[in-house]
Amino acid sequence: MYTWEVKSPINNYSIVPYIGHYVNWSDTLQGEKGKLDLNYWVLDYDLSKAKKQFEQVKPMLRAFEYWFGPYPFYEDGFQLIEAPHLGMEHQSAVAYGNQFSNGYLGTDLSGSSWGLKWDYIIVHESGHEWFGNNITTKDIADMWVHEGFTDYSETLFTEYYYGKKAANEYLQGLRKNIANDKPIIGPYGVNQEGSGDMYYKGANLIHTIRQVINDDEKFRQILRGLNKDFYHQTVTSKQVETYISQKAGKDLSKIFDQYLRTAQIPTLQLKAEGDKIKFKWTNCIAGFDMPVKLTNGQWVHPTTTEQKIKLEGSKFSNIAVDENFYINIKKQN
Ligand SMILES: [Zn+2]
């Protein structure tokens, strides 16, 4: 007979029974909050494959503690448990069914090949321990807070081990999966999710916000701050958005509104005029005002009213916007 206990608060969809002919082994990690117990449960005939594949757990936890702060459930330990389905973020008992191979069922969702360097389910479902299980939304209309940040955790994991160029390629590669069919935030009060874009577009929104903040250490401290200040809490998207604006010291509300509450991707219109460049936002909400970095390193702060400035050290024909911003560009000579 077994008795199981969870000491931390838990949301109801994070609870699941596992039944099977399991074998177990355990380990520990010296993490940011001390000794973390790790326990692995797999079906007996998968033991050798699992022991090899689950070596990715410790590096995953190290990377996520760096970006997000201490694993949120030290009191309950971290468990990875084989399941008959692909995977799920059950709190402190993550379900695993990714065939003990790298990628997402052996494929790379980004097409950049970086997604084949690691096991998608070990990384993604565990990322939910911070965004989904530690910070949980009150209404699933705001579920992008779970899936957008967790999708972005894949990019941050890639950055931690393979560098920024690799991470940017992975993140940009995910864009081919974005539908822009309807807003990411769904209707409130009726138990309904918004667009599936909450994953890849959510991650691209966070990455775009990171470019606007333009300070990687500040950005990392915001991610850690969210997990500390909203520790074991339920929140709204609005609270998370306001928190990020406050800590960034920039009003990002129009950017959040644009990407979360409409399905339109803002278009930056660029025109040449002698040695000057003219620019403005179109296909966007009133008052949209996101600054962007051009490929010559120059920052511009477009609004919905046309402005012009002198172009520094580059010809108009060579100018584009840094590809880390998820926007459309319309260029006219
Ligand atoms: Zn997820």
User: Which tokens is 127 given?
Assistant: 């990322």
The pLDDT, as a whole number, for residue 14 is 87
The CA 309 to ligand 1 mean position distance, Å, reads 43
The CA 214 to ligand 1 mean position distance, Å, reads 27
Which residue carries 């979360």 as its tokens? 260
Return the C-alpha torsion angle 263, 196, 131, 109, nearest 10: -110
Distance between CA atoms of residues 240 and 237, nearest Å: 5
The pLDDT, as a whole number, for residue 13 is 85
**Centroid of chain to Cα 58:** 20
User: Which tokens is 309 given?
Assistant: 């400035």
Report yes or no: 313 and 319 within 8 Å, Cβ to Cβ.
Answer: no
**Centroid of chain to Cα 153:** 5
The pLDDT, as a whole number, for residue 4 is 83
The CA 64 to ligand 1 mean position distance, Å, reads 15
Report yes or no: 175 and 200 within 8 Å, Cβ to Cβ.
Answer: yes
Residue-range domains of the chain with CATH: 12-127 (3.30.2010.30), 143-261 (1.10.390.10), 267-332 (2.60.40)
**pLDDT in single tens digits along all 333 residues of the chain:** 778 889 999 988 888 889 999 999 999 999 999 999 999 999 999 999 999 999 999 999 999 999 999 999 999 999 999 999 999 999 999 999 999 999 999 999 999 999 999 999 999 999 999 999 999 999 999 999 999 999 999 999 999 999 999 999 999 999 999 999 999 999 999 999 999 999 999 999 999 999 999 999 999 999 999 999 999 999 999 999 999 999 999 999 999 999 999 999 999 999 999 999 999 999 999 999 999 999 999 999 999 999 999 999 889 999 999 999 999 999 987
The pLDDT, as a whole number, for residue 217 is 98
The CA 33 to ligand 1 mean position distance, Å, reads 25
Distance between CA atoms of residues 93 and 8, nearest Å: 13
Closest CA to 152 of 234, 209, 231, 214: 209
- For the entire predicted model, the pTM comes to 0.97
Distance between CA atoms of residues 97 and 84, nearest Å: 6
The CA 135 to ligand 1 mean position distance, Å, reads 13
The DSSP code sequence of 215-274 is -HHHHHHHHHHHHHHTTTEEE-HHHHHHHHHHHHTS--HHHHHHHHH--PPPEEEEEEET
The pLDDT, as a whole number, for residue 5 is 87
The CA 11 to ligand 1 mean position distance, Å, reads 15
Who contacts 160 (Cβ-Cβ below 8 Å, separation ≥6)?
62, 63, 66, 67
Neighbours of ion ligand 1 (CB under 5 A): 147, 150
